[in-house]
């Protein structure tokens, strides 16, 4: 006998429901989030609703939590992405400072992220020059702001304010022209100094190699594209980020010859000065590492030695087999479901092992995917999908 539990996920944002009023502590235009008609992918403010728990200690000294029934509302800046089945993912832009969406939370509202207007050319110079009153004349500073004194590298005497301002403008324009002469190309949050694009070599199939580097973690990847704009997008996709999070995208012509192959061999990247971490033991691997002569690699990763590569591959094979078994069990148990995904969750202390869970779609779903732990007698669906789930179970004869 199947039973169904409900989660409040997205209930307040579904058609026919009266959404919560939304928080008022940010002066933005909040809109209810309809999971059937979400906004386009990108960066958004979202309202995060999280159940509150009262933590206590049971008779065995274990920490337990009991839901109080209250909901805490917070705000997070997230990157919204939509999978092919229509599910929504909310990846935090900065989980430490701008909030995030936990597994127990649900999103009820969203709002546009309005970026500040870009400064003018003069104000955007990296080391901006300023002229300020100094005695009877003017002091010339570089890099001076509210936090830093800056460098005082000259004075003007016996000139009026108009001349001082023209000198300040001239210094800043000269700095900007020097920057442009260095061919620094800003765009979509990506700034880089680069040489003109060299023509691809004959064996590259017309594609050029670029090195894309992510801003926060400094992780890089090689992509092959016909031009810089395409390389930026491919780099963001390969690094699983967005354009604004890229620090640089620069040409690597010595890797053009691997374009048709689709990837640069890991040993070649190590020779080029790249560093990797062994997936099995997390050791840092680079050309100067101790025991570098034992480093081996597969198509995408480097390992300390053959033993670590075999152990990692064996574990991957086991996980893939478990995922396949989870998906197979869900399809056999609930004929007619689609978009089945396998997930594993660690059991809370003191229990051991993992909980194998299937997430899947069913006719009429508008909230999050249904969740079923392999072998369990119940399925968890969003509150708004209970009628659709009951109708599906009845029609399927489950």
Query: What's the full length of the chain, in residues?
Result: 398
Give the mean model confidence (pLDDT) for residues 54-68. Answer: 72
pLDDT of residue 116: 61
158 band by pLDDT with thresholds 50, 70 and 90:
confident
pLDDT of residue 340: 94
**139: number of Cβ within 10 Å:** 18
What is the residue-wise DSSP string for 34-100?
-TTSPPPSEEEEEEEEEEEEEEEE-TTS-EEEEEEEEEEEEEEEEEEEE-TTS-EEEEESSTTTS--
Residue/partner pairs of 273-281 with CB below 8 Å, 24 or more apart: 274/220, 276/301, 276/302, 278/302, 278/303, 278/304, 278/308, 279/303, 279/308, 279/312, 280/304, 280/308, 280/309, 280/311, 280/312, 281/308
CA 142 centroid distance within chain: 36
Residue ranges per structural domain of the chain: 9-112, 129-181, 202-305, 313-396
Whether the pLDDT of residue 184 is over 80: the answer is no
Query: Pick from 232, 229, 223, 228: which is nearest to 204 by CA?
Result: 223
Contact between 164 and 156 (Cβ < 8 Å): yes
pLDDT of residue 139: 83
pLDDT of residue 372: 94
pLDDT of residue 23: 45
Q: Is 390 exposed, middle or buried (0-12, 13-18, 19+ CB in 10 A)?
A: middle
Q: Is 39 exposed, middle or buried (0-12, 13-18, 19+ CB in 10 A)?
A: middle
Whether the pLDDT of residue 2 is over 60: the answer is no
CA 106 → CA 41, 84, 238, 254, distances in Å? 18, 20, 28, 47
Higher pLDDT, 153 or 265: 265
pLDDT of residue 99: 86
DSSP 3-state of 367: coil
DSSP 3-state of 110: strand
pLDDT of residue 189: 38
Higher pLDDT, 275 or 189: 275
Give the mean model confidence (pLDDT) for residues 87-93. Answer: 87
Span 244-299, pLDDT tens digits = 888 899 999 999 998 888 889 888 898 888 988 898 998 988 888 888 888 888 87
Beta-strand pair 354-361/370-373? antiparallel
46 band by pLDDT with thresholds 50, 70 and 90:
very high
């Amino acid at each position: 006998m199947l039973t169904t539990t409900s989660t409040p996920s997205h209930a307040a944002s579904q058609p026919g429901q009266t959404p919560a009023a939304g928080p008022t502590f940010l002066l933005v235009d909040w809109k209810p989030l309809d999971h059937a008609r979400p906004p386009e992918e990108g960066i958004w403010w979202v309202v995060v609703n999280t159940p509150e728990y009262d933590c206590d200690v049971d008779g065995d000294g274990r920490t337990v939590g009991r839901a109080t029934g209250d909901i805490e509302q917070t705000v997070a800046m997230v990157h919204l992405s939509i999978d092919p089945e229509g599910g929504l993912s909310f990846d935090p832009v900065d989980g430490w400072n701008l909030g995030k969406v936990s597994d127990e939370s649900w999103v009820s509202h969203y709002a546009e992220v309005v970026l500040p207007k870009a400064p003018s050319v003069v104000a955007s110079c990296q080391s901006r020059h300023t002229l300020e009153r100094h005695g009877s004349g003017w002091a010339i500073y570089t890099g001076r702001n509210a936090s830093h004194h800056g460098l005082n590298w000259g004075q003007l005497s016996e000139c009026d304010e108009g001349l001082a301002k023209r000198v300040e403008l001239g210094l800043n324009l000269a700095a900007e022209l020097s920057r442009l002469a260095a061919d620094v190309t800003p765009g979509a949050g990506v700034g880089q100094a680069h040489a003109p694009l060299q023509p691809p070599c004959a064996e590259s199939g017309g594609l050029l190699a670029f090195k894309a580097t992510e801003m926060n973690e400094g992780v890089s990847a090689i992509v092959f594209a016909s031009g810089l704009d395409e390389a930026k997008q491919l780099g963001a996709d390969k690094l699983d980020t967005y354009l604004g999070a890229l620090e640089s995208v620069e040409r690597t012509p010595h890797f053009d010859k691997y374009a048709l192959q689709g990837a640069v061999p890991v040993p070649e990247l190590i020779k080029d000065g790249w560093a990797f971490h062994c997936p099995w033991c997390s050791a840092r691997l680079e050309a100067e590492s101790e025991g570098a002569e034992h480093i081996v690699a597969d198509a995408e990763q480097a390992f300390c030695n053959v033993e670590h590569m075999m152990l990692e591959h064996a574990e991957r094979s086991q996980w893939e087999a478990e995922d396949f078994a989870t998906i197979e069990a869900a399809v056999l148990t609930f004929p007619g479901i689609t978009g089945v995904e396998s997930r594993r969750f660690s059991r809370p202390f003191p229990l051991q092992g993992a909980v194998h869970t299937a997430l899947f779609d069913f006719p009429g779903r508008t909230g999050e995917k249904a969740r079923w732990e392999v072998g369990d007698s119940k399925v968890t669906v969003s509150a708004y999908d209970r009628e659709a789930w009951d109708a599906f179970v009845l029609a399927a004869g489950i």
